[in-house]
């Protein structure tokens, strides 16, 4: 751990030179692989794919079985997914009976790329068919991008900072970065953080199809030469983060640590990544510097890996530039999107949850469907099946999780597994 | 409009409120909106239903005075006459 030597990060609140460490104590997810963080990771590691007919839908998610009548009525699907994922994470952290922190020291950041689009569509129908005066008073509170953060904050009495962040496909990772900083700097002692997205509608498919971003084959095969676009998915994922010494003092089971965060922007194109990967490389380098580690301490990379031609090539270039060509070739890289499709604003959070699970179990899930190499994508993408994560010494397993977005927003997180 | 009975209005109000969350058998004339966890947003939705069904327009200042389900039923019946 860096002793505050990194000049890019100010000293922690309270004047101490040390950044406060941030532990992961709870995980939750609702994804195309099922309801729960365990099915997300275990099914992916077993090589199961949650994509059906060209979409990653949460087919096992039944809101009325998991939420009250009032919650179902008042929340857009993106908030419903988030609330169920948050409930699992909060239970996993052992917070169900009682919040173990001063409520004003506990926050919530719940990211979304789009927000409550299903509510917008439904209310637009009402407006056109029955007139503007018949639109629902619940329309705005359901569609607002901060609706999920508000719902979680209210349900669990989190009275610290609560808000949403939005950066398209990097939203979930940006949220985790913000939560990390809030705790590192002493603005909060705990943050419930994640991302959610529910855009599998005619309007959503139409809009992404118009950009020619979606895979015509309906197959998500990141880094494979045959990749032809991303497969849209939906879902939510949530992590409970706590200041590490407080988590340890209350006897929490520490699943890992969010150790570093770096973020940059391409300033290049609205949707295409800058092909050299320079800004993405800098995000990775900043995250490693924030964690106080170098390329030799990275054991695994959870790639953004969308299955688009441009992303997967640019991401490969960025990884090689950030870690060095030689080291990059030795690190296993795999993409969750091969099993779920692209969860957009939830992707970074779902991938962080899967990465924590990978570091806890030390089993690296594969990039499903990867068979035909592309000269532009020449790293080890963990083809075929899961494999053990090999540690070179006694330190905790450490990974990078990448997220890159329309708008050119790049985020890298450094995540550590539990201490051996 | 045909004459609206208090029984008809009560049945419609209870059905509508039940769709907002509380169990129908929990809703009586004496139930307060507070104990049913019915808030101002719910009451705006109730007002839309009432306007559609009975042509009665309830504004924000009308709703503010309502404490119980019976208050709402009485107001709607009186306006519908």
Query: Residue A259: helix, strand or coil by DSSP?
Result: strand
**A342 flagged as catalytic:** yes
Residue B3 pLDDT class (50, 70, 90 cuts):
confident
The alpha carbons of chain A give a radius of gyration, in whole angstroms, of 20
- Alpha-carbon distance A139 to nearest alpha carbon in chain B (angstroms): 10
Give the model's pLDDT for residue A205.
Answer: 96
Give the model's pLDDT for residue A390.
Answer: 87
Query: Mean pLDDT over all residues of chain B?
Result: 93
In this complex, the residue of B21, B44, B48 whose CB is nearest that of residue A70 is B21
Interval B40-57: pLDDT, tens: 999 999 999 999 999 999
Asked if residue B69 has pLDDT above 50, the reply is yes
Domain contains A11: no
Domain residues for the domain of A228 are 22-416
> What is the distance of C-alpha A137 from the center of its chain?
31
The ranges of chain A with pLDDT < 50 are 1-16
Mutate: best of B23, B39, B48, partner A, most A CBs <10 A: B48
Give the model's pLDDT for residue A193.
Answer: 99
Domain contains A92: yes
Give the model's pLDDT for residue B2.
Answer: 59
| Domain count along chain A | 1
Task: Given the residues B39, B62, B71, B74, select the one marked as catalytic.
Answer: B39
The answer to whether A389 and A363 have CB atoms below 8 angstroms apart is: yes
Q: What is the ipTM of this complex?
A: 0.90
Query: At A130, which CATH number?
Result: 3.40.47.10
The full DSSP string for B25-80 is: GG--TT-BTTTTT--HHHHHHHHHHHHHHH-----HHHHHT--BHHHHHHHHHHHH
Asked if residue B70 has pLDDT above 50, the reply is yes
Domain contains A13: no
Give the model's pLDDT for residue A419.
Answer: 83
What is the CA angle A204-A205-A211, rounded to 5? 100
Query: Mean pLDDT over all residues of chain A?
Result: 94
Distance CA(A147)–CA(A128), nearest Å, equals 24
Domain contains A14: no
Domain spanning B6-80: CATH superfamily: ACP-like (1.10.1200.10)
Give the model's pLDDT for residue A420.
Answer: 74
The alpha carbons of chain B give a radius of gyration, in whole angstroms, of 11
Domain contains A7: no
Q: Tell me if B41 and A137 make a contact (CB, 8 A cut-off).
A: yes
Asked if residue B26 has pLDDT above 90, the reply is yes
């Amino acid at each position: 751990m860096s002793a505050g030597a990194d000049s890019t990060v100010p000293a922690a609140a309270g004047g101490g030179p040390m950044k406060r460490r941030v532990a992961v104590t709870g995980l939750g997810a609702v994804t195309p692989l099922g309801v729960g963080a365990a099915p997300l990771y275990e099914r992916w590691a077993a090589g199961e794919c949650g994509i059906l007919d060209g979409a990653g839908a949460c087919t096992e998610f039944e809101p009325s079985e998991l939420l009250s009548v009032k919650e179902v009525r008042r929340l857009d699907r993106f908030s419903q997914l988030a609330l169920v994922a948050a409930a699992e994470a909060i239970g996993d952290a052992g917070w169900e009976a009682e919040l173990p922190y001063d409520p004003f020291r506990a926050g919530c950041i719940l990211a979304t790329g789009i927000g409550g689009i299903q509510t917008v569509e439904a209310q637009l129908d009402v407006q056109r068919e029955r007139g503007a005066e018949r639109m629902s008073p619940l329309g705005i509170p359901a569609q607002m991008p901060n609706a999920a953060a508000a719902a979680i904050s209210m349900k669990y009495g989190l009275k610290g900072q609560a808000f949403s962040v939005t950066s398209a496909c990097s939203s979930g990772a940006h949220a985790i970065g913000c939560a990390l900083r809030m705790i590192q700097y002493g603005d909060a002692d705990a943050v419930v953080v994640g991302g959610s997205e529910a855009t599998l509608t005619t309007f959503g498919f139409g809009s992404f199809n118009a950009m020619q971003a979606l895979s015509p084959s309906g197959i998500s095969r990141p880094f494979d030469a045959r990749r032809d676009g991303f497969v849209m998915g939906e879902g939510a994922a949530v992590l409970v983060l706590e200041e590490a010494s407080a988590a340890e003092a209350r006897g929490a089971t520490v699943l890992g640590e969010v150790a570093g965060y770096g973020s940059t922007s391409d300033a290049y194109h609205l949707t295409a990544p800058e092909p050299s990967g320079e800004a993405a490389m800098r995000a990775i380098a900043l995250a490693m510097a924030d964690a106080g580690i170098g390329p030799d301490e990275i054991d695994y990379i959870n790639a953004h890996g969308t299955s688009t031609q441009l992303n997967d090539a640019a991401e490969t270039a960025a990884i090689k530039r950030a870690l060095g060509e030689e080291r990059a070739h030795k690190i296993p890289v795999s993409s969750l999107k091969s099993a779920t499709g692209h969860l957009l604003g939830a992707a970074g959070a779902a991938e962080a949850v899967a990465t924590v699970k990978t570091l806890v179990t030390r089993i690296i899930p594969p990039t499903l469907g990867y068979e035909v190499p592309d000269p532009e994508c020449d790293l080890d993408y963990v083809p075929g099946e899961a494999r053990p994560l090999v540690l070179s010494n006694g330190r905790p397993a450490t990974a990078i999780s990448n997220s890159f977005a329309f708008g050119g927003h790049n985020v890298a997180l450094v995540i550590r597994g539990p201490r051996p | 409009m045909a004459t609206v009975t208090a029984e008809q209005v009560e049945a419609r109000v209870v059905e509508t409120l039940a769709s907002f969350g509380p169990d129908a058998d929990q809703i009586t004339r004496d139930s307060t909106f507070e104990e049913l966890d019915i808030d101002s947003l719910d009451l705006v939705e109730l007002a839309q239903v009432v306007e559609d069904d009975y042509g009665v327009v309830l504004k924000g200042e009308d709703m503010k005075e309502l404490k119980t389900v019976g208050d709402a039923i009485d107001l709607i019946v009186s306006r519908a006459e």
